[in-house]
Amino acid sequence: MVYVIFLLLFIFIFISMLLNISIIYPLIIGLLLFSFYSYKLGFSFNEILKMIFKGGKKSTVVIKIFILIGAVMGVWLSSGVVPYIVYLGIKFMNPKFFLVYTFIICSITSYLIGSAFGTIGTIGIALIILAKGAGININLAAGAILSGSFFGDRCSPMSSSANLVANLTETELYVNVKNMIKNSLIPTFITILIYLLLSINLNISMVNKNIVKDISKEFILTPYLLLPAIIIIILSLLKVDVKKSISVSIIAAIFLDIFVQNRSIVETLKYMIFGFKIDNNNLVAQIIKGGGILSMLKVSIIVFLSSAYSGIFEETKILKKLEEGIASLSKRIGNTPSTIMVSIITSMIGFTQALAVILAVQFVKGIYKDKYKLALDIENSAIVIAPLIPWNIAGAVPASIMGVNNGLIIYAVYLYVLPIYNIILSKRR
C-alpha cells in the first residue's frame, strides 16, 4: 500500500509539472493519502494531526531563514550589492576563461546569499546573456552556472537546505559548514580544472560589456556596497547564529539603500517585502530583479508539507522494512554509496530538493553512528543530486529561468564530481 501511495504521489507531481500546476496540491493529496493509510493502521485522527504538526514543526527554523533570505535578497538587489558583484565580475572577466569565471562567480555569490535560485535568477541570467553574445554553447554555460549556484546552496550558512539538513540531523550548522568546505576543496579544484580544459577548446569572441555601462546608469557603484556581503562572511567565520548574521547584513544594506542609492525607507521596505524591480525595459531591468519575503511563501509551504511527511513516517514506522533493506545494503557497499543511491531515488520520486532530503534522512539515519557524517553525506548526495534530475524542481526551475534545455545537466560538473569523489574517499577508508 505504501508503494502504491508513493507511485500515486509521483504521478500527481509529474502531472502537475506537465500542466504547470503548483506542486503544493499534489503534496497535499499525498499527505492526505498517507494520513488515511495511517488511520487504517489504527491511528486516531488526533494522533495523525499531531504527527503532521510534529513533522512540520521541523521546518519552522528553515522557514524563518526563508523569510530573512527573501528580505535580504530584495534589499541586496535594491541597495546595489548584487549588481556591484555582477559589475566587478563582468568588468574584469577574461573571455578566454569564461567557464572558470562563471563557476567561481556563481560559487561566491551563492555562498554569500545562500540561494541557488537567487544566484541563477540574478547573476546566472547575466552570464547566460554574456555567453550568447560570446558565441558559447548556452548549455555549457548553464551547466557551469548550475554547478556554482549549488556550491553555495550546499555549504553556505545562509542556505535553507544547509539549515534543513542541520535541523533534520540535529547537528550544529557551522560544524557542518566547516566539514563541507573542507570536503569540497578537491572536488572544487577538479571542477575548475575541467572547466579550464573545456574553455581551451572554445572559440570565444569578446564578451559584450554593455551590461556594465547599464548597471552604472541604474546604480551608484562604490566598494562600500560589498559591506553587507563582508558582514555575512565575517559573522559566519565567527560562528554567529545565521539569523543574526543575515539580520545585521539586512540592516547594513538598508543604510546603503537609503544613503547611497538615495531611496526612501518606504521604497526599501517595499522591495524587502515584494521584491526588487527596475521600472525600465533595458537589459539590466530584466536581470536585476526578484527577492522579497513574499517570493519565499510558496517554497515555505512546500518545505512545511514535505516535513509533515517525515512526522507520519517516523511515528507510524511504515517505512521500516525499506530502512532495514537499506541497512542491509550499507553493510555490503558502505554508508556513503548507499546514501547516494537512496538520494538518487528520493530525488526522482520527491520532485523537490526538500522532500528528497527529508526522505533520504529518514531512510538512512539508522545506518549512521556519527550524525555529522550523516549530515555531510546528505549534503554530498541529495542536495547536489536533486538538480541533476530534470523533473525535480531543483533542476527544472534553473533550466526554466535560464531558458535552456536539459542538456545543461551534462555540464554541471561539480554536481557529479562531489558525490563521485566521496564514493572513492569512502572506499579508501
pLDDT tens per residue across all 429 residues of the chain: 777 888 888 788 778 877 878 778 888 999 999 999 999 989 999 999 999 998 888 778 778 877 887 888 889 889 998 888 778 877 777 777 889 989 998 998 888 878 888 788 767 877 887 777 667 888 999 999 999 999 999 988 888 889 889 988 999 999 999 999 999 999 999 999 999 998 887 766 555 567 778 888 889 999 999 998 888 878 877 877 778 888 998 999 999 999 999 999 999 999 999 999 888 777 778 777 778 888 888 878 887 887 888 788 878 888 777 777 888 878 888 888 999 999 998 888 776 788 889 888 988 888 888 999 999 999 999 999 999 987 787 887 788 778 787 788 899 999 999 999 999 988 766
- For 308, the domain range is 35-58+298-428
Q: Do 129 and 67 reside in the same domain of the chain? A: yes
What φ, ψ does residue 94 adopt, rounded to 5°? Answer: -90, 115
Residue that is last in its domain, among 278, 296, 314: 296
Q: How confident is the model at residue 91, as a pLDDT?
A: 75
Measured CA to CA, the distance from residue 81 to residue 85 in angstroms comes to: 6
Q: Do 128 and 268 reside in the same domain of the chain? A: yes
Cell of 82: 548584487
Measured CA to CA, the distance from residue 152 to residue 159 in angstroms comes to: 7
Number of folded domains that form the chain: 2
Q: Do 174 and 81 reside in the same domain of the chain? A: yes
Q: How confident is the model at residue 219, as a pLDDT?
A: 93
Q: Do 269 and 121 reside in the same domain of the chain? A: yes
Q: How close are the terminal C-alpha atoms of the chain, in Å? A: 39
Of 178, 186, 102, the closest CA to residue 147 belongs to: 102
Domain assignment present for 25:
no
Q: How confident is the model at residue 208, as a pLDDT?
A: 55
155 contacts 379 by C-beta, under 8 angstroms: yes
Contacts of 310 (CB under 8 A, 6+ apart): 55, 58, 168, 358, 359, 361, 362
Q: How confident is the model at residue 259, as a pLDDT?
A: 96
Residue with cell 533542476: 395
Domain assignment present for 135:
yes
Domain assignment present for 28:
no
Of 238, 365, 284, the closest CA to residue 80 belongs to: 284
DSSP 94: -
DSSP 123: I
Q: How confident is the model at residue 117, as a pLDDT?
A: 80
Contacts of 5 (CB under 8 A, 6+ apart): 30, 33, 34, 37
**CA 10 from centroid of its chain's CA atoms:** 22
Q: How confident is the model at residue 56, as a pLDDT?
A: 86
Our CA angle for 99, 104, 107, nearest 5°, is: 125
Residue that is last in its domain, among 239, 267, 296: 296
Of 116, 113, 119, 142, the closest CA to residue 130 belongs to: 142
Buried b or exposed e, range 382-418, using 16+ CB within 10 angstroms: bbbbbbbbeebbbbbbbbebbebeeebbebbbbbbbb
Model-level pTM? 0.74
Measured CA to CA, the distance from residue 99 to residue 143 in angstroms comes to: 9
Domain assignment present for 389:
yes
Q: Do 49 and 166 reside in the same domain of the chain? A: no
Q: How confident is the model at residue 374, as a pLDDT?
A: 94
Q: How confident is the model at residue 59, as a pLDDT?
A: 78
Q: Do 226 and 286 reside in the same domain of the chain? A: yes
302 contacts 354 by C-beta, under 8 angstroms: yes
Residue that is last in its domain, among 250, 273, 296: 296
Q: How confident is the model at residue 205, as a pLDDT?
A: 56
Domain assignment present for 310:
yes
